[in-house]
Structure 1
Amino acid sequence: MTDRIPTEHEEQRQVVMWFRQTYRPMRIFAIPNGGLRSKAVAAKLKVEGVAPGVPDLFIPALKLWVEMKRVKGGRLSPEQKDWINYLASVGYVCFICAGAEDAKIQISDYIKDYKNET
Structure 2
Amino acid sequence: MDWEGQEQAVLIRWLYGEKMRGTAVGELYDAIYHVPNGGARHKKTASDLKRQGVKAGVSDLPVRQARGGWHGLYLEFKATPPRHSSLAQSQRDWLESSEGEGYCAVLARGFEEAKAVLREYASWPRTQVEGPRRELANGTEWRR
C-alpha RMSD of matched pairs (Å)? 2.1
Aligned match of 1:14: 10
Aligned match of 2:136: none
- Cα gap change, 1:116/1:41 in structure 2, threshold over 3 Å: closer, same or farther? closer
TM-score by length of 2: 0.71
**Structure 2 unmatched runs, 5+:** 19-25, 67-71, 129-144
Whole-angstrom distance in 2 between the partners of 1:65 and 1:90: 11
Structure with the greater alpha carbon radius of gyration: 2
Aligned match of 1:53: 57
Query: What is the DSSP-based 3-state SS (H/G/I as helix, E as strand, rest coil) of the residue aligned with 2:30?
Result: coil
Whether 1:102 and 2:113 are equivalent positions in the alignment is yes
Whole-angstrom distance in 1 between the partners of 2:45 and 2:85: 26
Aligned match of 2:36: 32
Whole-angstrom distance in 1 between the partners of 2:52 and 2:101: 23
Aligned match of 1:93: 104
Whole-angstrom distance in 2 between the partners of 1:35 and 1:80: 15
Structure number having the greater helix percentage? 1
Conserved? CA contact 1:15–1:100, under 8 Å: yes
**Structure 1 unmatched runs, 5+:** none
Instruction: Select between 23-32 and 83-92 the one with higher mean Cα deviation.
Output: 23-32
Aligned match of 2:45: 41
Aligned match of 1:77: 88
Whole-angstrom distance in 1 between the partners of 2:95 and 2:48: 24
1:70 offset after TM fit, Å? 1.4
Whole-angstrom distance in 2 between the partners of 1:28 and 1:19: 9
User: 1:65 aligned to 74, 78, 93, which one?
Assistant: 74
1:117 offset after TM fit, Å? 7.4
TM-score by length of 1: 0.86
Whole-angstrom distance in 2 between the partners of 1:39 and 1:27: 31
1:16 offset after TM fit, Å? 1.2
